[in-house]
Amino acid sequence: MPANNTAEELPASPDMKVTWHALSGKEVLEKLGSAVDKGLSKDEAAKRLEKFGLNQLKEGKKTTFLQMVIEQLSSFVVIMLIVAAIISIFLGETVDAIAIITIVVLNTVMGVVQDSRAQKELEALKKMAAPEAMVLRGAHRVSVPARELVPGDIVFLETGNFVPADMRLLEAVNLRIDEAALTGESVPVEKNEGSVFDVDASLGDRKNTAFSGTVVTYGRGKGVVISTGMYTQLGLIATMLQSVEEEETPLQRRLDQLGKTLGYACLVISALVFVAGIIEKGDPLDMFMIAVSLAIAAVPEGLPAVVTISLALGMQEMIKRHALIRKLSSVETLGSATVICSDKTGTLTQNAMTVTRVWVDNETLEITGGGYSPEGEFRKDGKTINIHDFPAISTALWVGTLNNDSQLEETVEDGKSSYRIIGDPTEGSILVAAAKAGARAPELNKAYPRSGEIPFDSDRKRMVTLHEIKDPQSQDISPFEGKNDKEAYVIAVKGAPDVVLGLCNRIQKQDNTCAPLDEKGKQAILAANDNMTKDALRVLGMAYRVVSVRPDQVDSDHMEQDLVFAGLVGMIDPAREEVKPALLRALGAGIRTVMITGDYPNTAKAIAESIGLLRPGHKVCTGAELDKMDDATLSSEVEEIDVFARVSPEHKMRIVSALKANDEVVAMTGDGVNDAPAIKAADIGVAMGITGTDVAKETADMVLTDDNYASIVSAVEQGRVIYANIRKFVYYLISCNMAEIMIIFIPTMFGRFLFPKAADMGMLSPLIPIQLLWLNLVTDGAPALALGTEKGDPDIMSHKPRPPKEPIINRFMLTGVIVQTIAITTTTLIAYAIGSNHADPRYAETLAFVTLVFSELLRAYTARSERYPLAKIGVFTNKWMNWAVLASCALTLIVIYVPFMADIFNVLPMGWEEWRLVIPLFLVPSIAAEVVKYIVSGKKKTA
């Protein structure tokens, strides 16, 4: 297409099917109607801007405040609570109505506050765009806002620039771009302007393309814009984020199902009680009030409050464990995770290139220490050595330090030192290794100031620098010849080992002398290089030469002849030290970890094997192999794949979907822009707080403030504790409420046969409505909330994750509920039967009321653990439970012994004889609960 073509002749939107990387620069310019020496005219750029729109990401439709409120109120349990509050007001039970409405309002407010923070991911994506861009308009270089770029614009890139749009490079001079946020690759990518002939090349392999949102770390370049806004790779991620629908968490699904089941059961039983009372010729209004009171007492109005408060307490505990929860429901979801999909760079690894091995003259030394802190040891055969005993090692590191454009910078904050690299992280890792050997770059550069250089070139695969030997005596070790020659200069060369080796005819020996380099010596160097690369190390060769001529008399050909091969330096982004034990702990908890990275397969495999993530017999799968699988094949094979390498954002989405199709509860960790769609699609997304992009953080459900994988496992433990506490409350609530229902239902249906004397006195129910509501207050209130503060069973991380479809009330809990319902119902009705022989009907109601209240309060203690006996966890170890039960007991005693309160609640003061009667009765349910635990524990040990 000629350069003067207008926007009208271009497609309505950038053609996403065009494989720009596979075209030549000339073909790209023709298709886009642009010229490398002129760019677009001002008028043409304006037309294209109007046609294609601004170069920015569009926001999805936001959820309004009203929609968030309605969503919080749409729960079945909440709807029942609202209905119960309305009926309570109608019946004059204002206090109970206010309590119920307060619970609903607090639950709604907390939910809205949390959800309102979940709409920011696209706003964070927009921040990734560079504010200004240097472009060629009408043959003039001008600075324009990045949002005004259009396809066909010629854009200039410099070190430190954000790439403002997707660009096909037309010129690249030593250009390196950090694409970790997009592809996950741990080192900056070397770029060139040549064509990539593989039309299916992954993003990381498109060396002639610069992507929006990435950062230029070195060199300069020029390219033509091929995609802007939502059509860039960054925009495709934003589109995927918008298309991912929010899903209910497993906890939300289970609680909603439980609430509906309980609600319907309560309504049916309440209706039966009302009908039975009418048949028994009870007063219709009285029976209606009993039925409604029973429904209110049985409906789990405390459930939303306890869940919310338990999750809030869990969130506070998470912060102590370096995990910031953005959504309360995420606490429990993480606890049910079966698979953790983890990015490699910055998550499993330190996100800091580190020299771990140096080879010189058939000697290999390992270097310890991680990150950019210049602290570590040199080891040989596992034993720490004195680096001064190996002067040739220092020579290799000195060469790499002099031939280096990066800087190691120390910052001190709150008395603590931290280090960072300014420049290329690969070069920076050599500075750190040299510092560990006692050589600091500023001192070396002062003793050997740079006099000239030939920058790194991707074709030459090496960098050459020239240094004056000015003050070698200031160094502890001076490895270079000619140190007493005032006209001497050091030529330092760093690059690909095979290329550097081809320029050498001598080799540095361990005592810093030089020897001729024969074929045997070359083969030894190449073998050492192969061994390092097999361990996924990135290897650079070091060489030098001392010349006695002035810099202006040295040409490039002369500088790169007769070099002395100094050694090999191998670096890698190493695994975090705490990752391996954390992985083992996760495995013990039945949680599998899968590595998903954009890095190369060999690198990913080496890291995975070193930390024990890659299990024997399991596979490493590349993005190209994944493309050949359909969804069904991927779902069947995903369980056998532990490492996915060289993958794109679309691949990550497919992997998460395949795992979820196998009923896995998936946690997706990551830090880059490329992770955001999969983070959102997973059951729970976990972002890195330090190295993570704003996009990942705002999309995630949980953010790790220390970027520590061990914190994920700690969060899993806390998530399990929270879910266990919610189960304890449900167990306690259901067993008590079912007993209350049966205590009303049985006498109403069969009272004339079971309690003839009470029936003759017109007593159809052991409890009147206000007593039921009081039970609801003192037993479903503070003691239930106190269960949410339990610390969890000691073996909570020794169990496999819960099956995703397992209901909250499983077989074990159902057995316990049945036992407790029978025990509480039987003892309460026994007390009622004994009291019915008394002339005053209030005597029977008092015995039943006190027996039921204290049975449920003591039952709260046994509910603190489903499997561990109370004696083992400690009777008084939960201080909140102690205060809650004490307060409830005190309030109940006030009702019994304060005259006007006793009249309101229709009870009589109790003497010692009555207490002797009811104490053994209300102890029975707790004893029964402990017996059930003992039986279950015995079966578990036998099994």
State the catalytic residues.
Answer: 343
Alpha-carbon distance 9 to 634, whole Å?
A: 42
Quick check: 565 and 506 in contact, CB under 8 A?
A: yes
Amino acid (1-letter code) at residue 51:
K
What phi-psi label fits residue 412: left (phi over 0), alpha (psi between -120 and 50 degrees) or beta?
Answer: beta
In degrees, rounded to 5, the angle at the alpha carbon of residue 105 between the alpha carbons of residues 101 and 106 is 120
Instruction: Please state, in angstroms and as integers, the Cα–Cα distance from residue 852 to each residue in 771, 870, 906, 923, following that order.
Output: 10, 21, 15, 11
- Contact status, residue 619 vs residue 640, Cβ threshold 8 Å: yes
Query: Per residue, what are the HEC states of 410-437?
Result: EEEECCEEEEEEECCHHHHHHHHHHHHC
- Report which residue type is found at 455: P
Cα separation, 266 vs 921, in Å, equals: 26
Q: Which helix (H) or strand (E) holds 558?
A: helix 556-559
Phi, psi of 360 (to 5 degrees): -145, 125
Q: Is 185 helix (H, G, I), strand (E, B) or coil?
A: coil
Rounded to whole angstroms, the Cα distance separating 275 from 291 reads: 9
Query: Could you tell me how far CA 646 lies from the centroid of its own chain?
Result: 21
Q: Are strands 323-325 and 140-145 parallel, antiparallel or unpaired?
A: unpaired
| Residue from 221, 226, 195 nearest 208 by CA | 195
Task: DSSP for 461-479, please give it.
Answer: TEEEEEEE---GGGSS---
**In this structure, what token pair is assigned to residue 422?**
């300014």
Q: Which two tokens stand for residue 764?
A: 């159809």
- Computed over its alpha carbons, how large is the radius of gyration of the chain? 37
Q: How far is Cα of residue 347 from the mean position of the Cα atoms in its chain?
A: 10
Which residue type does 883 have? W
- Which positions ≥6 away from 317 have C-beta within 8 Å? 718
Q: What is the DSSP letter of 578?
A: T
